[in-house]
Amino acid sequence: MSENAVPSQTLTEYCNSLDYYNVNFDVYNRVSQRINRFSDWIDKSLPKLADSMEISLPATGTLNVLSVGAGNGTIDSRILPHLRDKVHPNVRAIFLEPDLHTFQQCQDLVGKESPRLQGKSGGGQFWQFLNTSLGQEKDFFTSFDLEEACRKQNIMISEVQPIGIYVNVSCCFDPPQELTEDGRYLLDTITRSVNFAQTAAAELRKDVLRFLRSDTCSSITADGQVILDGSNSAYIIRRP
């Protein structure tokens, strides 16, 4: 493997390892308390957002929603009934989820209803870095793509509501042979790779960890903990 080579297993192979994909994501959810953070947003911010959408949406219209990285639908199953009951009965939804089995779980749980939830965050910045700087294949969708697509189509984003999700990734910076299980799974989750610490060239691993630690992606606490900004956002687009 050359000094600048990327791991041979990219996101497609990562997602094809179903058990590994699910274990990785479970660790990420636990460490970031992602479900709790979304639940806080649903309880505190979604009602006001729903009120503003109800005012602007005509009775004959359709509420279009997009869920990027919907997972197994746990969050969507809470948001969508609220939107359907409080905003509009006609909901057309699209899921974007790289793992087919997880996608099917999501469909089973919430049918064809899904929210538009994906944000520009430290995580998004990091994955963009992997694409543009390290040559990793573009086989997943981020907020950068969403915003670029809107720009090219002259679609104005009316409102962005951040959903704060922060992940302590300090355990990812230990030497490969000393990584804890959480550290290994988190590093694979955020790099979208399988066994990144062991398969990546030393120089590549150094570059990736340096960027992950940078203030573009993370903040450093007083006691030296590295906290990745993995925040999501709700994008609201209103028809003129």
Mean pLDDT computed over 143-172: 85
Q: Residue 91: which residues within 8 A CB-CB, separation 6 or more?
A: 62, 63, 65, 80, 83, 84, 113
Q: Is the pLDDT of residue 136 over 50?
A: no
What does the pLDDT read at residue 30? 92
Spell out the domain ranges in the chain.
11-236
Q: Higher pLDDT residue, 108 or 152?
A: 152
Three-state DSSP class for residue 168: strand
What does the pLDDT read at residue 99? 63
Q: Which CATH architecture has domain 11-236?
A: 3-Layer(aba) Sandwich (3.40)
Stretch among 7-11, 152-156, 201-205 having the lowest mean pLDDT: 7-11
Q: How confident is the model at residue 225 (pLDDT cuts 50, 70, 90)?
A: very high
- 169 closest CA partner among 148, 153, 188, 150: 188
Q: Which of 112-116, 158-162, 200-204, 221-225 has the highest mean pLDDT?
A: 221-225
Q: Is the pLDDT of residue 133 over 70?
A: no
Q: Which of 48-52, 66-70, 100-104 has the highest mean pLDDT?
A: 48-52
Residue 100 buriedness (CB in 10 A; 0-12 / 13-18 / 19+): exposed
What does the pLDDT read at residue 220? 96
Q: How confident is the model at residue 199 (pLDDT cuts 50, 70, 90)?
A: confident
What does the pLDDT read at residue 129? 54
Q: Is the pLDDT of residue 193 over 60?
A: yes
Stretch among 20-29, 89-98, 203-212, 224-233 having the lowest mean pLDDT: 89-98
Amino acid identity, position 237? I
What does the pLDDT read at residue 109? 74
> For residue 145, what are its two tokens?
């793509």
Q: How confident is the model at residue 173 (pLDDT cuts 50, 70, 90)?
A: very high
Rounded Cα gap, residues 233 and 216, in angstroms: 17
Q: Is the pLDDT of residue 215 over 70?
A: yes
